[in-house]
Chains A and B, each alone.
Chain A
Amino acid sequence: MTEPGGGSSPDKDTAGEAELTRDQNRTDAPGVPAPGAPAGRQAAEPAGGTGPEEPTGSVTQRFGRTVLDSILSANTVTVTVLAIFIALVVGAILIVVSNPTLTSEYGYFFGAPGTVLADSWSVVAAAYANLFKGAVFDPATVSGAINGTNSWSQAFAPLSETLTYTAPLVFTGLAVALAFRGGLFNIGAQGQAIIGAIGGAVIGFDLPLPYGLHVIVALLGAAAGGALWAFIAGALKARSGAHEVIVTIMLNNVATLLLGWLIVQKGVHDPTRTDAISKNVDKTAKLPTIPGVDHNIVRVHLGIVLGVLAALGIAWLLQRSTIGFRLRAVGANPAAARTAGMSVGGAYVLVMVLSGALAGLGGGMQVLGTTASSLTAQVTANIGFDGITVALLGRGKPWGVVASALLFGALHAGGNRMQSFSHVAIDLVFLVQAVIVIFIAAPALVKAIFRLRAARSGGTPTTLAKGW
């Protein structure tokens, strides 16, 4: 992912890729008209930007310089790492400021600077230690598991929590990222996730199916729900040019209200309860957890595996398939793509449907996984909007999305423990996430703060989508 000196778009070897596409066009894409092949090369030009100059020199020299370059110049990795670092520093300051004991100590800072700083350090260190213990592992439970005082499942519980929070974010992150690459800003992942959750849950409790088949059908239902919801926005964009940002925002509201209405209707509402909650999803439709382990403690389920597979699929789709090439071409320059004979409207619809299906799966995770088993008004939490930040942090790339979803999942899981054990409000975690994204969105800030030199070419992209 380093891409030293890489351009703003992932097309490192434009020519090679166009070559590949031309071959594919000739053999397996009969829908594309014959002129598509040479025009595909044209369309790839704007996507690729200015190709990097071939560096000269021996391989080791080149490698060494590349590594040094990538550390000292403002490329995506350094900017991302430094943005996380700045966010943690800002978080530390806020931990100190929001701690009443420490703020009163700062009243006599110059009386005893050592004590005050040491106290501040210990508070911040304890908070971040709990963040780590809640997200990765707690040495106490690990040694406890070795000594036999507690079960191994407790030792793995933090990691499992992280992965449980990560799974839906991978899907919604991929959804937003894929739309970015197709040149669309899908703000509607939240609404698509809600419809996906509805689709998954309704199949989960109203369709009696055997083990195995049920969960697959429920997942398909979730994907179909999200795809349908996104199709509305995609079709409106393709047909009438209605802006997808506006349409998806409005569809978010429609989805939220639809969910609120649906859960109190007959057939969906749990008749044994009087509050606004749906029936429970059948056990047969639940995503399997690790067998033989108490799933109240180790909550991780198959969703995270599916998430990684989805990332793999999207990576393949974008980099290796004709469809992916067409989507990226349309995303990079719709006019050029149209000139090349590609159907821009068709690509918009397709990218939205795929994006919606992913977001729908993310919503499905919430009801088919271990976080909830019935629909409530807030069952999808905030995964759709978090997906936008995950996609931004992941730079719109499938594996970047997986990594940033993992970071967000870890922050959330650790934040729960930090709040519980160190009394630092969970909001701090969201603030840290927000600060990370602010700095990612404004790489010039990071460059200025750390006096990084600009990357050789391309540098850090600021605009991911050409939505406006």
Chain B
Amino acid sequence: MTEKMDKKPIISLRNVIKKYGENLVVNKINLDIYQGEFLTLLGASGCGKTTTLRMIAGFEDITEGEIFLEDENMAGKPPYHRNVNTVFQSYALFPHMNVFDNVAFGLVEKKMKKAEIRKKVREVLELVQLTGFERRKPDQMSGGQKQRVAIARAIVNNPRVLLLDEPLGALDLKLRRQMQLDLKHLQQQLNITFVYVTHDQEEAMTMSDRIAIMNGGVFEQIGTAEEIYEHPKTKFVADFIGESNIFETSIHAVEEKMLKLIMEQGDVTVREQGFEVNEIAYLCVRPENIKISEFPVEGFNLKGIIKENIYVGSQIKTTIEMINGYLVKKTAFPDGDMKPAGSIVYLYWDDGKSVLMHTKEDKIYNYIESAEGGSIPS
């Protein structure tokens, strides 16, 4: 991560906006993608991730802002003048051509010599383990094989960046897992920058150096899988990646790096900085970090009753009902701390295992506070 930050970006998005009529799809995003990086745009459908990829490829105009590929502004450049290649979700193989002609398509466009084309196609087919399939037509191949032809057809052109639009979406789970690893290894072997679009968080975490989580046309957070999981910056990210217990709290007191929080479920003291008194915030704790005790733990006043324990093989999933009816999710290994259903327990977690996040609501809260105080905000 840090070593990558030292390098120059290969792709830069600067204040990119995309509108379809009045509909704002991508809202002023900024992103630097570095040489040799595997970056994933992750988000639910309609979040703008595919549109972003298509703007880099040149299939969509940019409403406002700029995209640079190796310091060159791509404005007005058609797809066939950009040194990037795309792997499409539907593979988009040419149905009237066999595998050889499909893979050779880009090289023929470059007017490469026939002998050289043959050599390059042979090499790339070997790389994707499709040697001997040269004469096959796309409709005589399985989904996984077609996918590999699509990848071969793109990388044979030696692009600076490979763009992949949910390339594994149509494959079954087992094949998809295998292809995830194959793709990751291929990327490391070729040292080509990959920009990968997916809605599958597990896929994103398996493959990516960095993940950019998109929601409503903006990036919620950009970081490594670990950063995003351990330190989500927004409630959306905490919710979207893995499971989370999210408590709504207000900051009661700020004391030397410690914050006293009041929530409906009880009071907690956490080690956090950068929050003000009376600010509303979200407190996020992953289910695997929730611990239970029969007695109150210092700094925590969270009492609940165990609703049920569900054994799912590798883990036990426990649901704890809090005073206000909020259900806390907890997971533990079968030999971990477990209490039978109906037990009254006190929740706690280790220092640093919770994340406190700013909300957009705090400003409204401040406004109401000051209004109640009688002073009119100027």
B and A form one assembly: no
Binding site for A on B (CB under 8 A): none
Binding site for B on A (CB under 8 A): none
